[in-house]
Amino acid sequence: MPPTSALILNVNDDAASRYVTSRVLGLAGFRVVDAASGMEALALVTEDTDLVILDVRLPDTSGLEVCRRLKETPRTQGVLVLHLSAQAVGPGDRAQGLEHGADGYLVAPVDPEELVAQVHALLRLRQAEREVKALSREVVHQRQLLELAISCAADPIALYDEAGRVLSANQSLYASRGSHAVHAPGRTLDEMQAADGALTPYLEQVRVALRTGQVQRGTMVLGSDRGPRYFDYVLSPALGAGGEVLAVMSSLRDVTESRSAEEFREQFIGMLGHDLRNPLNALSMSAQQLRRKGGLDERQGMLTERILTSAERMDRMIRQLLDFARSRLGGGIPVVRSSCDVFEVVRRTVDELRASHPGRVVELESKGDGLGKWDFDRLEQAVGNLVANALKYSPAESTVRVGAEGSEREVVLRVHNRGTPIPAEDLPHVFGAWRRGRRAASDAGAPSGLGLGLDITRQIVRAHDGDAQVASSATEGTTFLIRLPR
């Protein structure tokens, strides 16, 4: 605090002493107001007064009483008091003055430099107190804003301290579960688990977040007054300067409606795919019998082949639908491992696609050993999806390159094409279901697929404990990569 900004009330009934003290303080740059009695001092002091230099023995009332009243009055309780006395000079006097609320005690006569230094020290204390109060008000304000934001949030939110106790939970959390809610402030993780066993997997993730300081995500199903509800949750730890976990905030999102719609769609797809197979098989068998019987003219033969080609394409779509439904409802696509050669899978797939795309160039390069325990048919399906995708989305005059490399620990498959690059914002979602890219101009008339091929490919690779990735740019082209651990 700059000295010139400080306002000091100098209270002393001795005019000479009062003059000397005020003169010293004035020369030091302080603003000084004089008072000759206790009652005058109480009348002159305001909330803007920084310091009262108060004689202990005054004609109308004791300086100790003036100090007490200053400290008890809300308007002036923050004013600093420095007792200055030439008569009450004993240790007991000084102790009594400090016990009555004084912030300092000097015995007169006092050296001017000591007086100014003491005043400066007390004013630094007052400035520190002001800063602490301002900071405290800001902290309270920020806390109120945080509590208001959390309470008004549409999604359920809960906050846990470093020991896992509930600090707060918003109204949305209680409303989402009604009478089933157990997130009362102060409850521990163990107490909530005992009250609602369905929370156990979620609370274990809270413990992991508290222990590791890492964000945890998941989905859970919980009971409520409206029946079972599905929630996606994110647990976000708040870390201290040393990396220790100070708190964990849990934000939840009710996905019951979207999940129910998704499950219905997937069940419907599964039933649809299953029920379509019988009439499709009958159609395909009838066309095959017509072809075997012979005696068809050119137009009839062309129509029969078109029926067979369309039936094969429909059969592939149905198989994709069934695989998709199975992966969603059954936790993944099942695989049956047996000894086989991945390189043979790739060679056979490339040969078939070369035959069905006579105008295209598909190069194949193999290196190392492809032997291992895999599901031959499923890998053929996955590789076929990638190579067919590369042919579909690249120019007719370009080359599709397929690479297979086996090492001691894994087999890596690569499928590369020079088609239009995949936009960067779409790359994270390429393996999602129902997604289709823009076909090459040469393939513009081909029927569009369902957008399930890459999703199924990823499911097959994951069933082999592998990983599927994609990289795409205008300079390097598009490369799909599969890693299969041995």
One domain for residues 357 and 465: yes
Q: What tens digit of pLDDT does each residue of 178-228 get?
A: 888 899 999 999 999 999 999 999 999 999 999 999 999 999 988 888 888
Please check whether residues 316 and 358 belong to one and the same domain: no
Same domain, 157 and 227: yes
318 strand-pairing partners: none
286 — pLDDT class (breaks 50, 70, 90): confident
pLDDT average, residue stretch 432-441: 54
- Mean pLDDT across the stretch 386-402? 93
Q: Is there a domain that residue 147 lies in?
A: no
pLDDT in tens, 33-88: 999 999 999 999 998 899 999 998 899 998 899 999 999 999 898 899 998 887 76
Same domain, 308 and 361: no
Element (H or E) spanning 276, and its range? helix 256-293
Instruction: Count the neighbouring beta carbons within 10 Å of the beta carbon of residue 317.
Output: 17
Provide the percentage of residues in the chain whose pLDDT is more than 90.
44
Position 427 pLDDT exceeds 60: yes
Between 285 and 416, where is the model more confident?
A: 416
Distance CA 242, CA 186 (A): 26
The reply to whether 108 and 234 lie within a common domain is: no
Q: Are residues 351 and 325 in the same domain?
A: no
Statement to judge: residues 350 and 470 lie in one domain: yes
Q: Is the pLDDT of residue 447 over 50?
A: no
404, 411 contact by CB (below 8 A): yes
Q: Is the pLDDT of residue 331 over 70?
A: no
Domain range for 31 is 3-133
What's the CATH code of the domain at 66? 3.40.50.2300
Any domain includes 145: no
pLDDT tops 80 at residue 434 = no
CA–CA gap between residue 24 and residue 260 (Å, rounded)? 83
Show the 3-state SS of 426-474. Answer: HHHHCCCCCCCCCCCHHHCCCCCCCCCHHHHHHHHHHHCCCEEEEEEEC
The DSSP code sequence of 39-55 is HHHHHH--TT--EEEE-
Residue 310 inside a domain? The answer is yes
Let me know whether 343 and 481 are in one domain.
Answer: yes
Helical residues (DSSP H) of 335-412, grouped into ranges: 342-356, 376-392
Q: Please count the structural domains in the chain.
A: 4
Sign of the torsion formed by the C-alpha atoms of 90, 95, 101 and 107: positive
Is residue 279, in this structure, part of any structural domain at all? yes
Position 448 pLDDT exceeds 60 = no
**Which CATH number goes with the domain that contains 456?**
3.30.565.10
Mean pLDDT of 263-287: 67
Position 99 scores a pLDDT of 82
In a domain, 48, yes or no: yes
Q: Are residues 93 and 122 in the same domain?
A: yes
Question: Which range among 222-236, 258-272, 332-346 shows the weakest confidence by mean pLDDT?
Answer: 258-272
Residue with the larger pLDDT of the pair 296 and 23? 23
Distance CA 236, CA 209 (A): 7
For residues 236 and 361, state if they share a domain: no
Residue with tokens 């109120």: 144
Domain harbouring 263, CATH code: 1.10.287.130
Please indicate, yes or no, if residue 311 is contained in any of the structural domains. yes
pLDDT of residue 207: 95
Q: Is residue 65 part of a domain?
A: yes
Which residue among 199, 221, 254 closes a domain? 254
Domain boundary among 302, 329, 356: 329
Q: What is the mean pLDDT of residues 121-142?
A: 85
Domain identity same for 98 and 159: no
- 141 part of a folded domain: no
Stretch 231-240: mean pLDDT, rounded?
94
Beta bridge partners of 54: 11, 83
pTM: 0.41
% of residues, the chain, pLDDT over 70: 87
Which CATH number belongs to the domain containing residue 188 in this structure?
3.30.450.20
- Residue scoring higher pLDDT (377 or 9): 9
Quote the CA–CA distance of 288 and 285 in Å, as a whole number. 5
Q: Are residues 370 and 303 in the same domain?
A: no
Q: Is the pLDDT of residue 2 over 50?
A: no
pLDDT for residue 276: 66
pLDDT at residue 449 greater than cutoff 60: no
Residue 450 has pLDDT above 80, yes or no: no
